[in-house]
Amino acid sequence: AQSVTQLGSHVSVSEGALVLLRCNYSSSVPPYLFWYVQYPNQGLQLLLKYTTGATLVKGINGFEAEFKKSETSFHLTKPSAHMSDAAEYFCAVSEDYIPTFGRGTSLIVHP
């Protein structure tokens, strides 16, 4: 069985500060890992994904995430937050074609 834990329902940062959104997973097989962003009243947009290969994955909008098998983590980072990054972020794990989503983390960016 697969599961995802996102630490912190809300993360607040100042514009220009480092963004760190935490995600830990459990999976019985090598997982596929995803980060999605959701803006109000919109669907999900894929930020990045890990399947195989390089453990540091770069995505859109300056985000990146590192797959750490020993820590079963897939934390999302961005060096410098922008006001437009304010949104809901979902981490997801998938062993087959059906992902399991975390509860989401709301990123708040202060000017």
Interface with other proteins, residue 5, by CB under 8 A: no
Does the footprint of other proteins cover residue 111 (CB under 8 A)? Answer: no
Return the residue of 15, 22, 62, 101 that touches other proteins, per CB under 8 A.
Answer: 101
Number of residues that bind other proteins (CB under 8 A): 21
Separation in Å, CA 62 to CA 29, 51, 96, 99: 29, 19, 28, 24
Pattern 32-71, binding to other proteins, x per CB under 8 A? Answer: x---x----xxxxxx--x-x--------------------
Nearer to other proteins, 18 or 58 (CB): 58
**H or E element at residue 94:** strand 87-94
The DSSP secondary structure of 41-84, one letter per residue, reads T--EEEEEEE-SS-SEEE-GGG-EEEEEGGGTEEEEEESS--GG
Which token pair is 90?
A: 């979902």
Q: Which is nearer to other proteins, 48 or 109 (CB)?
A: 48
What is the binding site for other proteins (CB under 8 A)? 32, 36, 41-46, 49, 51, 90, 94, 96-99, 101-104, 106
